[in-house]
């Protein structure tokens, strides 16, 4: 218990944490359970007591990381140490924080160098209704047109470090037509060349 309290004194957060109150709003304080090597979050509406089934403990604003004391905890009650003292809370109010799923490994395959052109939904450049060949609405910063010979609809491609989605057709050969906001912008960008990478497994 003493070790837990001493550890609490040095683990101070730079951002003030919300107050614990018996009738307070959602408590979103993250608990760092160093002894269990796990992370926990207090469920909404949780209360912290002076003792088991005793009066609600007035912790005020927590000034450091809350640490669990496993040796004093059991199935029904979890004992925690804060910079304001010892508190008891129902174990049911403490949920293990689910680890984020690992990011799938993204593999890039070069499709080679393509001619870059630019278009907009203006009638002289596109259909005029903003709907692409995939059925999705065209979106600046996302939509590109590529021949089906090189990429299926819905494929993700990387061009000059930016990720786009192949939602449109209407081009032939080694050309990528990139959607921009206005007809003026499309004319200003003109024609360029860049290597195009296909993000494999992204559809």
Amino acid 9: pLDDT: 33
Amino acid 122: pLDDT: 63
Phi, psi of 23 (to 5 degrees): -120, 20
From 39, 74, 96, the end of a domain falls on 96
Amino acid 56: pLDDT: 77
Range of the domain at 134: 107-200
CB-side neighbour CA atoms (13 Å) of 152: 6
Amino acid 165: pLDDT: 96
Is residue 160 included in any domain, yes or no?
Answer: yes
Given a cut of 70, the residues of the chain with pLDDT beneath it are 1-45, 58-66, 82-84, 95-99, 122-129, 202-203
Amino acid 28: pLDDT: 41
Is residue 41 included in any domain, yes or no?
Answer: yes
Of 87, 97, 91, 90, which is closest to residue 40 (Cα–Cα)?
97
- If asked whether residues 127 and 92 sit together in one domain, one would say no
Beta strands in the chain (DSSP E): 30-33, 38-42, 67-68, 77-82, 85-90, 94-96, 107-119, 143-146, 156-159, 162-168, 175-179, 192-200
């Amino acid at each position: 218990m003493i070790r837990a309290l001493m550890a609490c004194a040095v683990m101070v957060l730079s951002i003030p944490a919300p107050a614990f109150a018996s009738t307070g709003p959602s408590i979103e304080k993250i608990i760092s359970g160093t002894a269990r090597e796990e992370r926990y979050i207090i469920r909404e509406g949780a209360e912290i007591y002076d003792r088991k089934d005793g009066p609600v403990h007035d912790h005020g604003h927590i000034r450091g990381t809350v640490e669990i004391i496993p040796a004093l905890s059991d199935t029904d009650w979890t004992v925690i140490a804060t910079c304001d003292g010892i508190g008891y809370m129902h174990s049911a109010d403490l949920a293990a924080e689910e680890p984020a799923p690992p990011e799938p490994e993204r593999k890039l395959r070069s499709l080679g160098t393509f001619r870059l052109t630019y278009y907009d939904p203006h009638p002289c450049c596109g259909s005029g209704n903003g709907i692409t060949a995939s059925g999705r609405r065209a979106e600046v910063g996302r939509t590109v047109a590529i021949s089906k010979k090189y990429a299926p609809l819905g494929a993700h491609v990387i061009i000059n470090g930016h990720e786009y989605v192949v939602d449109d057709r209407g081009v032939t050969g080694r050309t990528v037509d990139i959607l921009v906001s206005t007809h003026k912008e499309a004319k200003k960008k003109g024609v360029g060349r860049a290597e195009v990478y296909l993000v494999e497994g992204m559809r």
